[in-house]
Structure 1
Amino acid sequence: MSPVRLFLLGRTLMKIGEEALPELPASADQHRVGTRAALVVLSDVLGHPDTSVSAIALRTGLPQSQVSGAVARLKDAGSVVTDPDPADGRRQLIRTAPDVSERVAEVRASRIDDALAAALGTDEPERLREVVEALDVLARHLTPEAVGRLRG
């Protein structure tokens, strides 16, 4: 597989994932930061609890302003909490929220079946099962931590 083909596959998979996510409630501030950035930041926080915006930016390669916006969105959704850093009162430490918010529960319960069927142009059960199994294998081996290993 060529790097270009892999890149385009990744983009297609992101679009399918975005389509499968439940829509944000109308009351949510959807203009602050995109879904992709929020998911990248949340993934990083899951792997690095009690972390800072600058550390997330360094690990993910996202601009600090985008990380700050994502943290604000995730905090509004009840996905993360922040506390002042005891070593530096100007900095906030970020970690996942101890309780599962309504939004987190909704996202966790969502499935990709409809979005995947639409992208494939078929709802043939055998074909959907085959693709979902392939995606499960990829997800098991290419975890978010793999990106960090690329950056060395």
Structure 2
Amino acid sequence: MDGGQLHRLGRRLIELSAAATGEAGDLRLTPGELAVLEDAIKHPDGSVGEIHQRTGFAQSHVSVSVSRLRERGLVETTADRADGRRTRVRVTGEALQAITRRAARDTGDAIARAVPTPAEARRVAALLDELATLLL
């Protein structure tokens, strides 16, 4: 496998993940909002500047994404106690619960739709389990 194939595989796995975990009525996020939310999950109480550094997005883009996520009730922000100019970002408890429920959705149907036969779907599921064990 070369780098291009790995990249295409990664994108395809992201598509399968979205198909498996998404349902009608789920909140839709832009890729930037999703990256900011993921960063806030991994780094609770991170500042907008720190999120900017970790994601590589312009600080103004991170600020806009944080504002949109806050409006939707997905994150809460507080002023930094040591430096009131700095904004700290934390994912809300409700958002974490929703993310946990969404992540627990079964992937079987999405995998079955992605390949021609049930036997191939079982093999793909087994291979994905093995990859997860090895890489995660």
**Aligned 1:63-82 pairs, distance under 5 A:** 63-82=58-77
- Matched residue, 1:62: 57
TM-score by length of 2: 0.73
Q: Whose Rg is larger? A: 2
CA distance in 2, matches of 1:84, 1:55: 14
- 8 Å CA contact 2:75–2:95 kept in 1: the answer is no
**Aligned 1:113-152 pairs, distance under 5 A:** 113-122=108-117, 124=118, 126-143=119-136
Q: How many residues align?
A: 136
1:51 maps to which of 27, 46, 53: 46
SS at match of 1:56: helix
User: Unmatched 5+ residue regions in structure 1?
Assistant: 144-152
1:88 maps to which of 63, 70, 83: 83
1:108 maps to which of 95, 98, 103: 103
Cα offset, 1:95, TM superposition: 1.9
TM-score by length of 1: 0.67
User: Unmatched 5+ residue regions in structure 2?
Assistant: none
Query: RMSD over aligned Cα, in angstroms?
Result: 3.0
Cα offset, 1:4, TM superposition: 0.7
Question: Identity across aligned pairs (percent)?
Answer: 38
Distance 1:121 1:67, change over 3 A: farther
Cα offset, 1:82, TM superposition: 1.6
CA distance in 2, matches of 1:94, 1:51: 6
Q: 107-116 vs 72-81, which deviates more?
A: 72-81
- 8 Å CA contact 1:77–1:103 kept in 2: the answer is no
- The structure in which a higher percent of residues are helix is 2
CA distance in 2, matches of 1:45, 1:134: 30
- Matched residue, 1:41: 36
Deviations 1:64-97 (A, max 9, x none): 3443344344434544322111122232211232
